[in-house]
Amino acid sequence: MSAPEISLYPLVALHAVSNAHNEWVALSFDLSAAEGDPFQAALTLLKTPDVFAALAPLDCILPVPHPHLLELSHLSTLPPNRVILRVPAAACADVAVQKKLAGYADAGYRIMVEGVADGSAATMCSARSLMVDASLVMPPVLALVAQPGPHLATGMHSEGRIAECAKAGFSWFAGDFALHPSHDISVGDGTSRKRLLALLGMLARDADSRELEVLLKQDPALSYHLLKLVNSAAFALSSPIHSFGQAINVLGRRQLQRWLQLLLYARQQDDGLANPLLPLAAVRAAQMEALAKALGWDRDQQDMAFVAGVFSLLDVLLAMPMTEIVAALSLDLDVVMALLDRAGPLGDLLKLVEHHDRAGLEQAGIDAETYWQAQLQAYHWAIQVSRNL
């Protein structure tokens, strides 16, 4: 593809795509024009060793803003069964583009049209699905039924809107809906919330394992998830674990703390769906830790970075002000500053994880390639966490 040369390692915003059960099914690669040609920039990132293994089993949705420049040779390193080529609807009117994309579809690559193409243009491109911002307006019904799907609705800011889009024919969803839950554990369950805060406090002060065991026994949901975790394929044990004491011994103190912090997000919602906050918290925690390690921080500082990342969504989870949550916990001052004000070294890292740019990376002393490696590692871990909890 003839395109501007990329002089800097590209920065990508990865957006998780979920199904109707809040399970991640794909990652959408979004790159700004400042990164050069978005498709070429994505190719640079996908040359990372074992990148598709790290992101398995998720599909990768890649932007192709100039499909008339795309050649089959550009796709030679991409596995067809894992790649979806996202092309703008306006480009589908070009007969030459239609023939080119139809040929790539014959080679096994899936075509996703961004927006609604005129007439039968999407069909002529052999597109299987549409990607539409359905935050406010639904596309015509005929646009959805003309392709087999799955169709992706973006701009999803609430679970209610997802339900409406699902009825209209969408089955994949992306947006910040996880940050605006319609259900929370505090509704009608003050005891559960207090128990969670007590558990978080114990973890923060490195409480004795027996104290943790007593509290875990009072929470059937957390108990179930902990035993499910240690008996999962992630630990490959020769014999099943049946007691909390055994589970604590198998995991070890450090891993126990980490998994319990994430297990807080693993509760099922009232409608039985998985909590969409879980993988987000896992990404933040793992990426914070990876960046801290890249900066040469010691083991304790890396642990604090992990805690700041995983706790950064507790206000959403518990439907409480972060000030109240922090007041109930025994956290290091650096973690408190990061959670309340995004201040201090941990706060600076947390801001980068929430929204990165080159200026912020340069100020933090992190190069773009290091950031991508941390990002990739974090998503790999979040994918595994979601599958095991």
The reported pLDDT for the residue numbered 2 is 40
The reported pLDDT for the residue numbered 211 is 80
Cis amide bond preceding 150, omega within 30: yes
**Is the model more confident about 71 or about 256?**
71
Determine the residue type at 70.
L
The reported pLDDT for the residue numbered 192 is 64
Q: DSSP class of residue 242? A: -
Asked if residue 185 has pLDDT above 60, the reply is no
Q: How far is 387 from 381, CA to CA, in rounded Å? A: 10
Q: Which pLDDT band holds residue 268 (cuts at 50, 70, 90)?
A: low
Owner of token pair 């914070």: 288
Q: Which of 60-69, 125-134, 189-198 has the lowest mean pLDDT?
A: 189-198
The reported pLDDT for the residue numbered 338 is 96
Q: Which pLDDT band holds residue 213 (cuts at 50, 70, 90)?
A: confident
The reported pLDDT for the residue numbered 236 is 64
- What is the token pair recorded at 126? 């052999």
**Is the model more confident about 362 or about 5?**
362
The reported pLDDT for the residue numbered 1 is 47
- What is the token pair recorded at 302? 């890396």
The reported pLDDT for the residue numbered 267 is 64
| Predicted confidence (pLDDT) per residue in 270-310, tens digit | 566 788 999 999 999 999 999 999 999 999 899 999 999 99
Owner of token pair 């002000």: 321
Burial of 324 (C-beta count, 10 Å sphere; 0-12/13-18/19+): exposed
Q: What is the mean pLDDT of residues 151-160?
A: 95
Q: Which of 13-22, 59-68, 69-78, 196-205 has the lowest mean pLDDT?
A: 196-205
The reported pLDDT for the residue numbered 271 is 63
Q: Which pLDDT band holds residue 191 (cuts at 50, 70, 90)?
A: low
- What is the token pair recorded at 86? 């996202």
| Predicted confidence (pLDDT) per residue in 352-389, tens digit | 999 998 999 999 999 999 999 999 999 999 998 888 77
For the domain spanning 182-389, the CATH number is 1.10.3210.10
- Residue 369 CB: number of other CB atoms within 10 A? 14
Residue ranges of the domains in the chain? 13-179, 182-389
The reported pLDDT for the residue numbered 229 is 76
| Predicted confidence (pLDDT) per residue in 85-108, tens digit | 999 999 999 999 999 999 999 999
Q: How far is 278 from 266, CA to CA, in rounded Å? A: 6
The reported pLDDT for the residue numbered 36 is 85
Q: What is the DSSP string of 317-354?
A: HHTS-HHHHHHTS---HHHHHHHHHS-HHHHHHHHHHH
Give the rounded percent of residues in the chain with a pLDDT score beyond 70.
92
| Predicted confidence (pLDDT) per residue in 335-352, tens digit | 999 999 999 999 999 999
Q: What is the mean pLDDT of residues 207-215?
A: 78
Determine the residue type at 85.
L
Q: How far is 369 from 207, CA to CA, in rounded Å? A: 38
Does 13-179 carry CATH code 3.20.20.450? Answer: yes
Task: Answer for the pair 226, 216: CB distance below 8 angstroms, yes or no.
Answer: yes
On whether the pTM is more than 0.85, the answer is: yes
The reported pLDDT for the residue numbered 6 is 40
Asked if residue 110 has pLDDT above 80, the reply is yes
